[in-house]
A and B are shown apart, each in its own frame.
Chain A
């Protein structure tokens, strides 16, 4: 079984001093030429679907559906969505290629939304649908060497 343990990241909220944890994983994304691009995804157990910014997908040559899903938008940003598939490998695991359903956010040909006023809503998320049937994802808060706040564990099922 292929298994990956990634230390959880954290930041300190200056305003309160609280420590805020998050998990990230690097994926290789296959473009329309079969070439891989490395991108970092935030692992979000609260996300119903994996998402990626459509204009970035287009710039990388990642295939995106031609038409947006009618009568549906990404609630957090108001962006239109295109329902497609990301072909990926998980960096640090074996070379298995996974096909994850993905909502591409925004018009792939649209102008980039700039200037941006932080905090932007994260658009590059690894969600649940079509992922956890292929990968077992666990958050383990036990500290260990090189991981003061624990690990994200990713295992091939």
Chain B
């Protein structure tokens, strides 16, 4: 790839933006910053960055709104959601409109850079928490036969990969554990992301409302 990755930062806290800029500015080039939905769309339109780091909660309609409106014009823009919010429905919401991953804001600088690279390469970034959300959302679907069934359930292998990520394994460690290549792990994760985005399981939109007590 020619030159460093071009990244845009979208977050309503200026202090956080400058912190992230200081931490990752050496490895990637931060080409734009924005603090709300409208300015984010403008900045992204002007700079067309490789990856947009996007806060889930934003003035003007939230991160999902940014993804939705940018994808209308530039469907190839890649988003990585970054948030302090553990509210499952919002995290799943921003993934479902098209973000390619979710990390929490206490991620370390090097980890964040690695995540940005992964998203720029077209892969998906799942933190342990997101993997947990996904397993929760797709739980108990094995015996349920539905019309859209291949979109509505995870394969056994995808479930294994998700469980290992939820247990804190990095992709490399998942690959070693399952005796598969990192590329295969990435394929599985991308496929889970696709199911998360396309599945019509209504539980995905309402699953956060009731925690299942088995």
Tell me, yes or no, whether A binds B: no
Residues of chain A at the chain B interface (Cβ within 8 Å): none
